[in-house]
Amino acid sequence: MMSAAKELITLGIETSCDDTALALLKGRNDILSSVISSQIESHSEYGGVVPELASRMHQEMIIPLLEDVIDSSGINDPAEDIDLIAVTAGPGLIGSLLVGVMTAKALSQAWKTPIIGVNHLEGHIFANIAVNRELSPPFISAVVSGGHTEIILVKDLGEYELLGSTRDDAAGEAYDKIAKMMGLGYPGGPVIDRLASRGDPKSYLLPTPLSSTGKVEFSFSGLKTAAANIIRNSAKTGISLKKEDICASFQKAVIESLLCKIKLAMEMTGIKRLTLSGGVASNSGLRRELREMAEEENWELFLPSPDMCTDNAVMIASAGIDSFLRGNRSDLLLSPDPSWEIW
Ligand code: KG4
Ligand code: ZN
């Protein structure tokens, strides 16, 4: 029998990209256990995620991780104790999504447990809700990751309006591509972040993209080309390039672009509550400057810890239980949608 609403236990499953993640969540905020297996090392030598390799690795890891997440949660009988299975059903890589969804469906049938498909972006929005009891809509959510740069108006939980997104590359994608050009490996974000802290952001003049369009929109591909030209010219002329300075200059332009458009979204809506999530939200420079801006502008800012910014299954469980309690259901016909949108 299902327990009282606040005590429901949800198994979250996330396999949309290159992290196999599972979590058990009690209610909306009580994390019983959370495990992640990152595939970074396997993809690093290719400078980006190789979809075929990603799905094979999810397939290898998902059952051992399921055992780990149950063992470390303190629950005894998953069939009896788990009330809901929440699984990422899109957007993402189809082969990767299929591993999570098929596993969730098999468990749902074996345990006779309800299942719900969760949107990965809604998951990132819920990364903040999963760790903050006091956060309630309306708020502006900036989701900045390897696949997304979206500014979303969260009118209510489950009710979203896209205020703006990127015209081309996502912010994290630009980090990853620049890192690849400089031979810094994958993912580029953490290493560029580290090098940037030792460089001079004024050494190369990189433009802040679309800063004066008056619209909430981003473009990172021009910035990537400008940085690529600097790298190429230095190779041609033999003038040595200080990687730290390029990283600092690139990071400065990305942060300025994000801050300028977040500010515009806050002004346009008049909302004073802001959440940030997605892999790029773990960037140290962005976190520092956004905190400063929030203080100046008197915004209430919610920034989860870096491990909740990057892909994880706690956020999927949290979005899943909330959607379930709002009356949404999936069934065994659930199939992944690689380009699922929530607006
Ligand atoms: O949210 P996430 O784990 O996966 C996606 O849904 O994309 O984000 C991964 C992205 C990668 O592009 C990675 O380079 C970027 O987040 N990232 C960072 C940092 N840590 C991860 N970007 C900038 N600074 C960081 N510290
Ligand atoms: Zn993500």
Best probe residue, ligand 1, of 119, 144, 177, 280 (max atoms within 8 Å of C-beta):
280
**Residue with CA nearest ligand 1 atom 19:** 189
- Chain length of the chain: 343
| CA 76 / ligand 2 centre spacing (Å) | 31
DSSP H helical ranges for the chain: 40-44, 51-71, 78-81, 94-111, 120-131, 171-181, 188-196, 221-237, 243-269, 284-297, 306-309, 314-325
Decide: residue 218, CB within 10 A, 0-12 exposed, 13-18 middle, 19+ buried. buried
**Pairing assessment for the beta strands 115-119 and 139-144 based on DSSP bridges:** unpaired
Shared fold status for 5-127+309-325 and 136-303: yes
Residue 34 has pLDDT above 50, yes or no: yes
Domain ranges of the chain: 5-127+309-325, 136-303
Best probe residue, ligand 1, of 175, 178, 288 (max atoms within 8 Å of C-beta):
175
| CA 227 / ligand 1 centre spacing (Å) | 19
| Mean pLDDT in residue range 223-247 | 87
| CA 245 / ligand 2 centre spacing (Å) | 28
| CA 315 / ligand 2 centre spacing (Å) | 10
User: Looking at the CA of 146, which ligand is closest?
Assistant: 1
State what percent of residues in the chain have pLDDT above 70.
98
Indicate if the alpha-carbon torsion angle 173, 176, 180, 185 is positive or negative: negative
**Residue with CA nearest ligand 1 atom 23:** 189
What pTM was estimated for this model as a whole? 0.94
| Mean pLDDT in residue range 143-156 | 97
Residue 4 has pLDDT above 50, yes or no: no
pLDDT in the model for residue 189: 96
| CA 240 / ligand 2 centre spacing (Å) | 36
Cα–Cα distance, 320 to 314 (Å, whole number): 10
Residue 6 has pLDDT above 80, yes or no: no
Which residues are found with C-beta within 5 Å of the ion, ligand 2? 145, 311
Q: If pLDDT is split at 50, 70 and 90, which confidence band does 329 have?
A: very high
Q: Which residues, listed in sequence order, are joined to residue 309 by a DSSP beta bridge?
A: none
Q: Pocket around ligand 1: residues whose beta carbon is below 6 Å from it? A: 17, 145-147, 172, 175-176, 187-190, 193, 278-280, 282-283, 310-311
Q: Which CATH class is domain 136-303?
A: alpha beta
Q: Which CATH class is domain 5-127+309-325?
A: alpha beta
Would you state the structure tokens that stand for residue 298, as one six-digit string? Answer: 């008197």
Average pLDDT over the chain, rounded to whole? 94
Give the pLDDT confidence of 10-30 residue by residue, as tens digits. Answer: 999 999 999 999 999 999 889
Torsion of CA 233, 259, 283, 174, to 10 degrees: -40
Would you state the structure tokens that stand for residue 271, as one six-digit string? Answer: 């909302």
